[in-house]
């Protein structure tokens, strides 16, 4: 197991290298000059060229990339071209807010999605199953920005129970968490139902029932534990996606997360912040996949890594 973890951790290096290579040259191929954005529309060409020299943008692209890699191996992501603060200092508080939002949404989705999927699988093709399926389809089809606006209108504008947006405490987390978790609840419920129905049709489930095992134990101990591997895979992938895909939710609720920082940095052509944010997204996604793989051994003792 330790050797497997070590190999997976070492495999992160070429992944991040490949992402940094594509990202670096792709950003430079996009239209727009960061020096011109910083200088403003009224700046002279001499002022723009001076800013380009200060940022190192007048050097060949491969030289810029070599310097970027040299800083990266020393865990230095550079400085923001907008604020001149270190990229790590810009990203750290935003990353924490995004992780908090993603964890809260994932927890809420599991809290409702897994029981809903189990109930639908235990009572298939009944009215209850159809209700769960319909709600899951509705949750997957509902745009995050629309749901967020509806929640704001109902709970913030009309009822005045919750703040419209921003951050500052638990109450500020409620509406964005519900918005972000809505689609994930549907995904978790559908996958739990599918996996549970497949497992409950197996011979060992029939054998357990014929031995007089309590139905609750059959469902939870024999059924859910064996059906949870595909479910935990989906949850892990969705969690990794949410770490980089909460831009709409963060924008609607003015949540100071990494997604909003990334969008504003793209508009300002702030290359160091864009590169740092995407590399951190990639690192978190890879680590999440590793954690999901390691949980397989807990739910299925037959799983062994060599």
DSSP string, 219-288: IIIIIIHHHHHHHHHHHHHHHHHHHH--HHHHHHTT---HHHHHHHHHHTT-HHHHHHHHHHHHHHHHHH
**For the segment 128-176, what is each residue's pLDDT rounded down to a tens digit?**
888 888 888 888 888 888 889 999 999 999 998 999 888 878 899 999 9
Rounded CA-CA distance 230/203 in Å is 20
Beta carbons of 77 and 276 less than 8 angstroms apart: yes
pLDDT band at 300 (very low <50, low <70, confident <90, very high): low
pLDDT of residue 105: 92
pLDDT of residue 108: 92
pLDDT band at 107 (very low <50, low <70, confident <90, very high): very high
Q: Which two tokens stand for residue 194?
A: 């599918």
By the 10 Å C-beta count (0-12 exposed, 13-18 middle, 19+ buried), 158 is classed as exposed
CA 71 and chain centroid, separation:
26
By the 10 Å C-beta count (0-12 exposed, 13-18 middle, 19+ buried), 167 is classed as middle
Per cent of the chain over pLDDT 90 is 18
Rounded CA-CA distance 91/264 in Å is 13
Q: Which two tokens stand for residue 265?
A: 């940095």
CA 124 and chain centroid, separation:
31
**For the segment 187-244, what is each residue's pLDDT rounded down to a tens digit?**
999 899 999 999 888 888 888 888 888 888 888 888 888 888 888 888 888 888 787 6
pTM of the complete model: 0.83
Q: What is the average per-residue pLDDT within 174-183?
A: 90
pLDDT band at 303 (very low <50, low <70, confident <90, very high): low
104-118, 149-163, 219-233, 292-306: the lowest-pLDDT one: 292-306
């Amino acid at each position: 197991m330790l050797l497997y973890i070590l190999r997976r951790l070492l495999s992160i290096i070429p992944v991040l290298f490949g992402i940094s290579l594509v990202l670096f040259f792709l950003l430079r191929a996009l239209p727009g000059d960061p020096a011109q954005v910083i200088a403003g529309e009224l700046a002279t060409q001499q002022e723009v060229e001076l800013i380009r020299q200060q940022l190192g943008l007048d050097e060949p692209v491969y030289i810029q990339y070599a310097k970027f890699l040299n800083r990266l191996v020393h865990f230095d992501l550079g400085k923001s071209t907008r604020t001149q603060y270190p990229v790590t200092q810009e990203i750290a508080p935003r990353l924490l807010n995004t992780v908090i939002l993603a964890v809260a949404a994932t927890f809420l989705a599991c809290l409702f999605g897994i029981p809903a999927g189990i109930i639908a699988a235990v009572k298939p093709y009944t009215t209850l199953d159809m209700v769960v399926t319909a709600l899951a389809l509705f949750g997957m089809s509902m745009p995050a920005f629309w749901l967020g606006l509806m929640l704001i209108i109902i709970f913030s504008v009309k009822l005045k129970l919750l703040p419209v947006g921003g951050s500052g405490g638990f109450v500020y987390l409620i509406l964005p968490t519900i918005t972000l978790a809505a689609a994930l609840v549907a995904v978790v419920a559908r996958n739990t139902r599918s996996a549970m129905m497949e497992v409950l049709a197996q011979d060992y489930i029939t054998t357990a029932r014929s031995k007089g095992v309590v139905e609750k134990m059959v469902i939870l101990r024999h059924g859910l534990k064996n059906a949870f591997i595909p479910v935990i895979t989906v949850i892990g992938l969705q969690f990794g996606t949410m770490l980089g895909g909460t831009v709409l939710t963060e924008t609607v609720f003015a949540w100071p997360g990494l997604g909003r920082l990334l969008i504003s940095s793209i508009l300002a052509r702030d290359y160091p912040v864009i590169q740092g944010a995407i590399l951190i997204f990639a690192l978190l996604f890879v680590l999440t996949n590793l954690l999901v793989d390691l949980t397989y051994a807990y739910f299925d003792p037959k799983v062994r890594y060599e």
